[in-house]
Structure formats: C-alpha cells, structure tokens
Amino acid sequence: MSDIVKIENLEEFIIEIRGQKVLLDSDVAQIYGVETRDINKAVANNPDKFPAGYIVELSKPEKNELVENFHRFDKLKHSTVNPKAFAEKGLYMLATILKSSQATQATISIVETFSKIRELSRNIKELSVAQDKAQQKSLMQKSGELISEIFDDDLQTSDTETSIELNFAVLRFKHTIKKKNK
C-alpha cells in the first residue's frame, strides 16, 4: 500500500461483525505497514487502552464464516488463533500506540471513512422520512457528495458523468457527479 492511504482502499476492508463495522487485525496490519503480531502485541501490552467494545475477538464459528465467505481470509483457515476485530474506537486507541507516518496517515483515512459512512447513514435515514421537498433535495445532494467522496476520491477523468440511484419505497434518489481533469 502506498504512503497515501485512499478512502476507497479502506472501504473494502470494513466488515460487519456482531452489528459493528470493524477492521480485522490482519487488515489493520496491512494498512499500517506492520505485521499482525505487532498489532496484537500492541494490544496485549496496553490492555487499559482497549476496554470492552473497542476490540472483538472472533469466535471460531465467526472465523470459519469469514473464511467461507471471503477469499481474502483463506490464510485464517488453519490459524489456531481467532482474529481480533477493531471497532472505530479501538482503531483510535491503536493510533495512540503506533507512531509511524504510515500508521498516522492510515488512521486519518480510517477516521474519515467511518465518519463519512456514519454521515451517509444518517442522511439516508433522514431522507426516508423527510416530507419537505427542499429538505429532500438538500439531503440527496449531500448524500451524493458523500458517496462521491467515499467511492470516487481523487478520480481523474475527462468530462464524464456518474449517476448514483437509490430507490426507497416512496422516494427515488438520483445524483449525477460531473468530474473534470484535475
């Protein structure tokens, strides 16, 4: 991974475990440019920084489900150790321990990604109940901008359009993104 960590590269690592958006220890290690054992050693050496809810240790069935559903977790198949999954708060704490420039840049990108996903989720919830047309339009515009930032960051193209369409029970949302050469 390059020195500059892109949001769209992080998006593919985020998975949901027990209703939480998390990153597995092996993915965090790859993003931070360290070994998984270094991540786990940092956690073991600083238990007071990782209270309940900051890290989730996967159960054997959860690990097996990941291996079955995601090719990138094949290396976990024969591991005797269950992976740890870092919630957003756990990633913040990990950032206070790992001090490399790549870890700092990765942490900033992770924070930005989680923040944008949370904001997009709030906008979509508001959009589904909004009655006022002006409010709907404003929420649609902001949601489209967030989607563009998450998936289209730093895109360099000639004059093109990308349409994003979301359909709700009573509302259809279409947002067009126009990008020009940078």
Q: pLDDT tens-digit profile of 14-63?
A: 888 998 889 999 988 888 888 899 899 999 999 999 999 999 999 999 99
Mean local confidence (pLDDT), 153-160 = 48
Structure tokens at 102: 């790549």
pLDDT > 50? residue 170: no
Residue reference for tokens 């240790």: 57
Its pTM stands at 0.59
Mean local confidence (pLDDT), 86-114 = 79
pLDDT at 98: 81
Other C-beta atoms closer than 10 Å to the C-beta of 93 total 19
Q: pLDDT tens-digit profile of 2-15?
A: 444 555 566 778 88
Instruction: Report the C-alpha gap between 87 and 14 in whole angstroms.
Output: 10
pLDDT at 108: 77
pLDDT at 167: 53
